Structure formats: structure tokens, C-alpha cells
Chains A and B, each alone.
Chain A
Amino acid sequence: MDAAVVLVARGMTKSFLGNTVLADVDVVLRPSEVHGLVGENGAGKSTLMKLLAGVYQPDSGTIELDGREVGFGHPVQAQRAGVSTVFQEFNLLPERTIAENVYLGREPRRLGLVDTGAMNRDTAELLAGLGITHLKPGTLVRQLSVAEQQVVEIAKAVSFDAKVIQMDEPTASLADHEVELLYSIIERLTGRGVAILYVSHRLKEVFDLCQTITILKDGRQVSSGPASELTEASLVRQMVGRPLTSYFPDKVPGTEVGEVRLSLQGAGNPYVDGVDLTVRAGEIVGLAGLQGSGRTELVEAVFGVHPFDRGSMTLDGKTVTVRSPRQGVRRRLALVTEDRKAKGLALNQSILDNALGVVRAVLPSRAGAARRELPGVLSSLEVSARGLDQEVQFLSGGNQQKVVLARWLSIEPRVVLMDEPTRGIDVGAKHAVYELMRQLAADGVAVLMVSSELPEVIGMSDRILVMRDGVLAGELPAGATEEQVLALATGAATEDGAA
């Protein structure tokens, strides 16, 4: 074995209730290397990470760290040994400070009492080591942005003198300029000799960052080797057995852009201002912008979550006011929220109850019909589940998102608002979401889609609206480049960019 190896996992196998989710997978991590781990949801990436993190124990297989065989019975054991993990769901306490979170469970003490001063100084030092100087250790985590919370998680990982840091979908909820920050942090870490195991659905990132890529499919290792030997196309083919060309489906033949479904004139509330826009039947309009630019706030305002308090809004030519989500649903508006676990689904209820939740609550006269149509809708979305009575918490992210979509299809929407509809779901499920959007357009529905993934915005939209600081910064036609969108979103070229 070559000398420059920090962690070797061999023959990692794990099954739950007789269901093998990971079979005989090998991973070799080298110092200063970013190792990409890719695969569809359910391919076993999370399971592999959790085995290395000590959350689960392998059924068989060995883990060697610095040439010594180790076994982790608990995440803290793994961390102390030098393997830290930044999970997709952060392990942070919102009501405690940054420093208290970083040192939770091992607070530095002096004379038996917690030494807050030392804790804050050490945390500031850790953050400075990551190139972060604007965060104060005494700030409550609740007050941080998602990106800043991730920095805290990374600082916590580093504080254990980590030799290996695993990152699960670290960019899933970051805007593009925040991704830059993450890249710079990763660079600093690898510069110190830390090995990074990087899980991401975004193939561009994987190619940007990783020297080695391991591909998993259905719990098995498809390949593991230098990134230079792969192309995006060959990678996707190995992941899903489907060529890249079908990534964004074409328009359904016969799709026609019809009358105006939704229009806003000078609409505003405390979060967005002076918004003029129209979305026509059969149109898919992309809403791009940086995190915090007001995209989510805009679709929430249309749906009645934070109603507009000025300007006007029309639906199908009629001036309307939507003061609550209930009124929104009555007007046949649908909002696929960005956080499906918190706002989209009742996780401990069945697929059936989730799919019919909206229609039962708001449009009871349609509940019977929706119930009859449901099996057809779910199968057209290719939801894979044990049955309608299965609790949604046991579904993969992609299948959960499909249940959310079924829930909104049940009201026969005229306008569908989608906020990050493909966040954190696998390539196959993404494809199903894209197909559904095309089908909705063909059926004369107006679709307004918020997305942080520029390829998605560009690949799916008939027009692209870009927001900046709570106002619409401009509009771009289909076929715009990522650079044009970014220029509007960041205000880099305001003079010629504002349409």
C-alpha cells in the first residue's frame, strides 16, 4: 500500500432489516485530496458516510485510519480519531452561540467551570483558519444564514483536528456566491493535508473539486478512479444508465403559450417591492437570483403566505387579493415549498394523507375525485413505495418530493409556483420533476420556478426573471447564458443588463 493514504475502507457492507443498502464498497482517501462520492439517492452514499462517521456500524468490512484498524461505535469516537462529518441536516442548536455549538460536549474548563473566554478565542481562531473573520463566536446560530451555519459545522469538524472531513451535499442550500466561499474553505483544508470525502448531486462541482471519484449505484461500487478519466456524460451514464442528452426533456409537442394566467403590477410587501411580471398558460418562467434576493418571498407573497400590501395581482384577467394560503389554494394556486420536510409534508403521516391533505382541507368537494385519481398520479410520477399507507418519512428525498407534487396536482392548479423543486433529490427524480413541468405546461398551466441551479433555470425556462435585493433586476429570454443571469443577479452589469 502506498504511503500517502489516510483512510482505507474495504468491503463495507450494511443491510437494514435484511435489505442490503451497501455491498462490498471500497474507498481509499489520500491526504490533501478531495474524493467525490456520487450516485443517485438510495445508491448508498449516505450509508457509506454514516459508516465512516460511526453513526452506523458495518455488518462486515474494515476501516483503517493511518494504517491502524479502527471501529467507531459512536460519532464522537470517529471525530476524536480524526474523521468528522458535515451532514446535510446540520447538528446545530439555534438558540446557542457559535462557540457553544462548536465545543458542545467538550467545553474547555478552568477550575471546573466552563471557560467561555477560551472557548470564544479558540472558536475565533478556528474561523480565522478557515478565512472567516466576520463571524463573532458569541453570535446565536439562529441569526446566521445557511452558509454561515455550514461554516460553523465545518469549524466544528476541524476543531477535532480532523484528518478526514466528510461533506454531504454541502452546496445543496447555498447560492452560487456562497459556494465560492465553500470552495475556498475546502482549498484551505486540503492545503493542510485534510482529506475530503465530498458527496454532491451537482456534477459540475464534483469535476471542479475532486481528484478522485467513486460512483455508487444500488449500493454497489460501479467504479473508483481519477476524475480525469471521466466526463460528465460518462459519469451520468454510470450513475443512472441514461445518457446526459435527456437531462432536460424537450417541450411536449403541441404546447402553446396562451393567455395571461398570473400577472403582478407594482406588487410589494415588506420583503419584495415593485414587482411587475406575467406568466402565461403553457409557459415555464424561471426565477433566478442569489440566496436572500427575495425569490422565495415573492412566490410566498403570490401564494398568500406574506400577502402583498401594495400593487395589484390578477389571475386569469381578474384582479384578486390572496390573503392566506387557503385563499391561494381556492384560486387554484399551488406552491411547492423549498423545504419539503418542514413545510411540504407531514412526515409521520401516510402517502395517502399527505397527497390528499390540501384538497381535503380546502376543496372537500374534490376530495373523492382526487382520491380516485391518486393511484394514477402517483404511478405517472413513478413514486416507488410499499403502498399508499406508508409513512412519507421512510421515502427517499426524490419520492417525498413526488408526493408533494401529487399533493398539489390534486387541486387541479392553474398556476404552479415551485421553489427549488429539485433540491436534494437524485438525477432520476429530477428528471421526473422536469417531465412533470413540461406536462403541466402542455396542459395549459402556468409554471413559475425558483431555482439556485443555473443549468436548471436555463434548461427549463421559456423566460428567466432575475431578482436582486427584493426587486426584479431584469428579464432574459430562453437560451441566456449563466454569465448573463449572474450579471443581473449580482448587479455586475446593471447598465446594459436591466431590461
Chain B
Amino acid sequence: MSAVTTAPRTKGARRNRRRTAPLTSTQLVYVVLGLIVVVSALLTLTKDRNFFSQGNLWTIFTAMTVLGFIAIGQTLVILAGSLDLSVPYVASLTTLVAGGIMAGSDANVIRGVLTALAVAALIGLASGLIVTLLDVHGFIATLGVGLIISGYLASNYQGSTGQAAEDLKFFGVTGLGVMPYVAIFMFVAAGLVWAALRWTRWGHHLYAVGGNRAVARMSGVRTAYPVITAHVLCAVFAALAGLTLLSRTGIGSPTIGSQGRYDLFSIAAVVLGGTLLAGGKGSIVGTIGGVAIFAVLDNVMGVMGINPFLKDFVRGLIIVLAVAVYARRSIVRRPARFGHASALGSVLKEDA
């Protein structure tokens, strides 16, 4: 105690402590990913297999692609303070629209892809307009839009129909080294979105609107524009995911999206990646980390032959633990002045 009174703390000292602050959320995501990779590699070894073999890495990158596309879009709408629950239905619709137009013919690839993307963009535009002009929260707006699409799919398609062009199927299964072309495309798209968030006014305004719409408005930002464009892009990314699925299965399916549970898994991946569910804070880099965590987990659980129910159990556990850690980190902002509470103590401490 006397030590404190004789050595008054300067502002500089406090600042230094801030600088040695713990990892950012994004860094933490990759630390967790690294740990999971190490553990997975060891577990894989026990089965006399190599985690880092070309085949296994290919499998992981393949698994990342569809969820990756959807999660990129989901990151945008969540950053803007909205949410998109219609992504699985958009993806299903895309497989049917594109598969229907292609009908197995290489001549129709471009037309099929563009039409599917345009349809998705229109759906995203509708969601965006509902969210901004009618002031309906994204959760409800896209739940409604998702149900509408789901109803349309159920009443118009009795089962799988349409057929992917051979070119598209071939594109889906080829790649460079350990990475399928589609995965490379997904990473490039993630990079572009990352750059746009960082270097364009649109990106800055997206963060601003998601962080605090009133503040953004008072600063002269057109608050509707970033939200609408985020919804359009999200739907387009869902369509890219749908096209990826089409390239793998070869046929259009009205239920492939909802079977993948991409709505909830994409939100989980985004949040796992350190993005604030309330909006205004987060990054694409983190989201890709979240997607990778899911892919690696699935991979190692597949290798270990774990039953599907236990898989969901593990996924759920990871989501809850991760978000609990983030929540605690954002609460404890004030540095302790006296003593250092043990890590265990701070975890066990009753919440304020």
C-alpha cells in the first residue's frame, strides 16, 4: 500500500499496460485454430494417418468452401447490425435455377450462373429494403424471406431436378496443389471483401452503421445504403455457395441448403471469428478462422469415426466456450490496480 502512495502512477505507465494487452479477438481465433490443428494432427497420427497429407488438406479446404462463402456474406450483414437467416434457401434455389438452365449442357454455364446470381441479388435487395425501409430487424425480415423461398421450393419442386454442366462439375473437382479452385476463389473473394471493408468508404460506413446507426446518421452517412448492399452481397455469396454445391452434386436440390444448416453454422462461424453479433466490430479474417475451425473439427471427428450426435455436441461446446471467452474479455476493460486476480478466479467470479 505504501508503495502505491510513494510511487504515483503516471499516465504513461497506464498506457504501457494497455499496450501489452492480451491478443485481439482475431489473433485469439487463430491461436485456437492452431491448437485445434495440433491436437487434430496428433489424433490423426493415432489412426496411422497424416493430417497434413495432400488428400486430407484437400478435404478440409473443400469443406471450408461452401460455409466460407456463406460466412463471408453473413459477416457483412452482421457487421451492419443485421442478420440473414435466408441463406440456406437462397443456396438451394440457386442449385435449382442454375441446374435447370444448364440442363447438363456446357453452352449454358454462363447463362445459368449469371441468372442464379441475379435472382439471389434480387432476394438480397428485397431483404435489405425490408430491413431498412420498413425497419424490420434482419432476423425477422430474413426469416420471413427464407420461409417464402422455402415454401416456393416445396410447392414447385418435388425432388432433385436439373443438371449441372460438365464444365462446372469439372471446375468443382480440380484445383492447384492442395486447394480446389473453388476454395481459391473463396479465399480471393474473402480478400477482396477484407480490402473493401478496410479501404473503401462503403466499408467504413458499414462498420459505422452497425456500431451505432444514430451516430452514423448524425455524421451524414446514408445509413440505408451499406445495409442494403450488405444484404445483396450476402445473398450473392449464398448463391456462390449454391453453385459450389451444384458443381459437386451435379443436380439441383430444393433441400440441400437447409440440410447443411448453413444459416446457423454461418452465424456461429462469424461469431466464433470474433465478430460482435450486435454489429460494428469484427473482421473477415476472423470469420475465415472460424470457418477453418469448424472444418478441421469435422475432419478430425470424421477420421476418428465419431458418431454424428457427438459431433454436434463438440461443435456446440466450442461455440459456447468461444463466445463465453469473448464476452469475458470485453467485460473486463478496467485493468486491475492492485494484485493480480488468478485466471481461475476471474473465470469463477460471479458476473457483475
A: residues with CB less than 8 A from B are 74-76, 79, 91-96, 100, 104-107, 109, 112-114, 116, 134, 142-143, 268-274, 294, 297, 305-306, 309, 323-324, 468-471, 473, 491, 494, 498
Contact = CB atoms under 8 A, between A and B. Distances in A.
A470 B338 contact: yes
B169 interface: no
Interface in B1-52: 1, 4-5, 8-9, 11, 18
B216 interface: yes
Contact of B215 (A79, A91, A297, A309): A91
Interface in B213-240: 214-216, 218-221
Contacts of B221: 104-105
Contact of A93 (B203, B215, B337): B215
B219 A104 contact: yes
B208 A96 contact: yes
B352 interface: yes
B207 interface: yes
A272 B276 CA distance: 31
A95 B205 contact: no
Contacts of A100: 204, 207
Contacts of A306: 352
B313 interface: no
B352 A114 contact: no
A357 to B, nearest CB: 18
A104 B216 contact: yes
Given A79-B220, A107-B204, A272-B338, 19 more contacts: A75-B218, A91-B215, A93-B207, A93-B208, A93-B280, A95-B281, A96-B208, A104-B208, A109-B201, A112-B200, A114-B200, A270-B341, A274-B1, A294-B337, A297-B334, A309-B341, A468-B8, A469-B337, A471-B4
Nearest to A102: B219
Given A91-B219, A306-B352, A471-B1, A271 B336 contact: yes
Contacts of B208: 93, 96, 104-105
B199 A114 contact: yes
Contact of B350 (A112, A272, A324, A473): A324
Given A91-B215, A93-B211, A113-B199, A270 B220 contact: no
B199 to A, nearest CB: 4
B204 A134 contact: no
A122 to B, nearest CB: 15
A378 B336 CA distance: 40
B337 A107 contact: no
Contacts of B216: 93, 104-105
Nearest to B220: A76
A443 B205 CA distance: 55
Choose among B18, B200, B201, B336 the residue with the greatest number of A CB atoms under 10 Å from its CB: B201
A134 B18 CA distance: 14
B212 interface: yes
A15 B219 CA distance: 25
A142 B211 CA distance: 12
A271 B18 contact: no
Interface residues of B, number: 38
B352 A305 contact: yes
Interface in B233-250: none
B336 A270 contact: yes
Contacts of B1: 273-274, 471
Contacts of B350: 323-324
Closest 3 CB pairs of A and B: A270-B336, A76-B220, A105-B219
A116 B200 CA distance: 10
Contact of A105 (B18, B220, B339, B340): B220
Nearest to B346: A270
Given A272-B338, A470-B337, A74 B211 contact: no
Given A104-B216, A271-B338, A323-B350, A94 B204 contact: no
A104 B207 CA distance: 10
A273 B216 CA distance: 41
A268 B219 CA distance: 43
Given A114-B200, A305-B352, A469 B220 contact: no
28 contacts: A91-B215, A93-B207, A93-B212, A93-B215, A93-B216, A95-B276, A104-B219, A105-B208, A105-B219, A107-B201, A114-B198, A114-B199, A116-B199, A134-B11, A142-B333, A143-B18, A268-B338, A270-B337, A270-B339, A271-B334, A271-B338, A273-B1, A297-B334, A305-B352, A306-B352, A471-B4, A471-B5, A498-B5
A468 B1 CA distance: 12
B39 to A, nearest CB: 32
Interface in B317-351: 333-334, 336-341, 350
Given A93-B207, A114-B199, A306-B352, A273 B4 contact: yes
Given A95-B211, A268-B338, A470 B201 contact: no
A105 B9 CA distance: 38
B333 to A, nearest CB: 8
A413 B205 CA distance: 48
A268 B280 CA distance: 36
B200 A273 contact: no
B337 A272 contact: yes
A337 to B, nearest CB: 12
A292 to B, nearest CB: 9
A305 B334 CA distance: 14
A496 B338 CA distance: 26
B320 to A, nearest CB: 23
A155 B350 CA distance: 40
B8 A105 contact: no
B4 A95 contact: no
B10 to A, nearest CB: 11
Contacts of A274: 1
A468 B7 CA distance: 12
Contact of A92 (B203, B204, B215): B215
Contacts of B207: 93, 95-96, 100
Contacts of B203: 114
Contacts of A96: 204, 207-208, 211
Given A269-B338, A271-B337, A491 B220 contact: no
A476 B33 CA distance: 57
Contacts of A75: 218, 220
Contacts of A113: 199-200
Contacts of A92: 215
Nearest to B281: A95
A100 B281 CA distance: 13
Contacts of B339: 268, 270, 309
A274 B338 CA distance: 10
A106 B220 contact: yes
Contact of A469 (B4, B211, B281): B4
Q: Which of B11, B280, B337 has the most CB of A within 10 A?
A: B337
A324 B350 CA distance: 8
A46 to B, nearest CB: 15
A471 B8 CA distance: 11
A163 to B, nearest CB: 18
Nearest to B209: A93
B5 to A, nearest CB: 6
Contacts of A76: 218-220
Contacts of A469: 4-5, 8-9, 337
B337 A114 contact: no
Contact of A494 (B5, B204, B219): B5
A312 to B, nearest CB: 16
B136 to A, nearest CB: 19
Contacts of B338: 268-273, 470
A114 B204 contact: yes
A273 B220 contact: no
